[in-house]
Structure 1
Amino acid sequence: MKINGSNHIHVNPYQKQMNKQASVSKGNASDKVEISNQAQQMLKGNEIQEARQKHVEQIKKEVQNGDYQINYQETAKKMIDFWSNRG
């Protein structure tokens, strides 16, 4: 019986895939992201949000200083409107 050494062709069946991945990684492949104008405007924030933030900061300062005045009638009216589904 004659033995002719091992068949090295099938030693690594994934060699072709590994070579393909290596060639892709050597290339100058790059990803690119494009953001629409509308999305860019949303990222910047809007005037309403900024005004709301300023209002909240003003209320915080008034509460910390003890200057915040509660309008009890307006608060009660809004609570009644909310619970009666009018507002």
Structure 2
Amino acid sequence: MKINPYLSVQQNPYKKQVDKTEKAYDIKAKSDKLEISTEALKMQQVTQVDPARQAKVDALKQKIEAGEYKVDAQAVAAKFYDYWNE
């Protein structure tokens, strides 16, 4: 004798949820795609640094590594002040 025929094992409401998740795993994963414009490719290829600028950067690196580079706090503050008040 069935006490509650409406909620029998054949009519399990959770079975539909399980079926949906199984189908979701069957779908192939989407992959991201990156495209770079021709202008951006040209910019990447033309990244040559001016020799004078490179020499200045190298000199600063040597001073920093040797511990000889000192920052002028007043000059930095003045530059910040000028930048923010333009």
Bin the TM-score by the shorter chain: 0.3 to 0.5
For normalisation by structure 1, the TM-score amounts to 0.43
After TM superposition, the score normalised by the length of structure 2 is 0.43
